């Protein structure tokens, strides 16, 4: 029972629900609602998004600069600027180069036009696709002979890449030793040397369908075609520069350039046979 002399009830043991209670976590003694918390968090999230976007933009710019230093991405875009019409005409030129007359590369304001506008311009689309197709056809040929294995297919691909790399290095070294000033770049060499895979594909496929006789006939035609194509293409890159420099046609240096052009063209049929003869039995 309560004390009769006590004027007020003792409420110290019960939680206060009035103004004397503990202040709320929101501060100033007032309760904080969820909408207020979202309002305070919104500016922080926006700042974080802006800061993250800025860091991403800076990182992309840094990566683009470093990549372009080692891999000329802008130049590679030029070599892949092709369309269906160009690819069809280029394949026809590689197989039948005998009737083609104008081999000059077209320029626009001292810049070569894109390959889709000029059939004589080098491209990397056909060599890249031809190389991949060549590896697939090689796997098919090995499979029909019960000799397929991932290791053997990898050896086929690495061997083709090794020979291509060796060709490019040898040509660049020869151009340096002969002191040839030419606009022939390393990417141009990769493109021109990669065109031989088209004839290799034709030879292997014909060999699978018609045996060795079909293989030798088609490969011989493609070898002669690529020889003519390389002669008429590289002479404009190597010999035309010599004529512009005023080098005599029968001069010793010009003779070396002619021999170099012939050697590069003659190496293509040899490598085409070397990389395909074991695939047809």
pLDDT by residue (tens digit) across 20-71?
444 444 444 555 555 555 555 566 666 667 666 766 676 666 555 555 554 5
Across 107-133, average pLDDT:
92
- Judge whether 200 lies within some domain: yes
Strand, helix or coil for residue 105: coil
- Judge whether 132 lies within some domain: yes
pLDDT for the residue 178: 81
- Judge whether 209 lies within some domain: yes
Q: What is the CA radius of gyration of the chain?
A: 36
- Judge whether 45 lies within some domain: no
Closest CA to 222 of 204, 190, 200: 200
- Judge whether 96 lies within some domain: no
Strand, helix or coil for residue 217: helix
| Greatest distance between any 2 Cα atoms in the chain | 137
pLDDT for the residue 42: 62
Q: Give yes or no for residue 134 having a pLDDT over 90.
A: yes
pLDDT for the residue 26: 46
pLDDT for the residue 250: 55
pLDDT for the residue 184: 85
Residue numbers of the domain that contains 157: 126-277
Across 264-275, average pLDDT:
96
Domain count, the chain: 1
DSSP 4: T
Phi and psi dihedrals of 218, rounded to 5?
Answer: -70, -40
Strand, helix or coil for residue 112: strand
Q: Give yes or no for residue 19 having a pLDDT over 50.
A: no
pLDDT for the residue 143: 93
Per the model's pLDDT, the better-predicted residue between 49 and 171 turns out to be: 171
- Judge whether 156 lies within some domain: yes
- Judge whether 199 lies within some domain: yes
- Judge whether 168 lies within some domain: yes
Query: 115 and 82 in contact (C-beta within 8 Å)?
Result: yes
Distance (Å) of CA 219 to CA 46, 126, 161: 65, 18, 20
Q: Taking the model in full, what pTM does it have?
A: 0.74
Model confidence at 115, pLDDT cuts 50, 70, 90, reads: very high
């Amino acid at each position: 029972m309560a004390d009769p002399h006590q004027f007020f009830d003792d409420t110290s043991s019960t939680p206060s629900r009035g103004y004397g209670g503990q202040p709320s976590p929101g501060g100033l003694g007032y309760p904080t609602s969820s909408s207020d918390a979202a309002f305070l968090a919104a500016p922080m999230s926006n700042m974080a998004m802006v800061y993250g976007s800025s860091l991403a933009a800076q990182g992309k710019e840094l990566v683009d600069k470093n990549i372009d230093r080692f891999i000329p991405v802008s130049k590679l875009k030029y070599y892949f600027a092709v369309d269906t019409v160009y690819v069809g005409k280029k394949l026809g030129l590689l197989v039948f180069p005998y009737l083609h007359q104008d081999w000059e590369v077209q320029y626009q304001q001292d810049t070569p036009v894109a390959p889709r506008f000029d059939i004589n311009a080098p491209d990397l689309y056909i060599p890249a696709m031809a190389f991949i197709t060549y590896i697939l056809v090689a796997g098919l040929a090995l499979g029909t002979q019960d000799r397929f294995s991932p290791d053997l297919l990898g050896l086929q691909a690495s061997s083709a890449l090794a020979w291509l790399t060796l060709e490019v290095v040898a040509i660049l070294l020869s151009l340096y030793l002969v002191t040839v000033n030419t606009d022939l770049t390393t990417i141009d060499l990769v493109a021109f040397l990669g065109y031989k895979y088209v004839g290799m594909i034709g030879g292997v496929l014909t060999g699978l369908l018609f045996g060795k006789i079909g293989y030798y006939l088609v490969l011989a035609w493609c070898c002669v075609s690529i020889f003519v194509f390389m002669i008429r293409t590289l002479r404009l890159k190597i010999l035309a520069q010599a004529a512009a420099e005023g080098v005599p046609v029968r001069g010793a240096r010009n003779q070396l350039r002619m021999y170099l052009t012939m050697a590069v063209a003659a190496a293509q049929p040899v490598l085409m046979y070397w990389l395909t003869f074991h695939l047809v039995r």
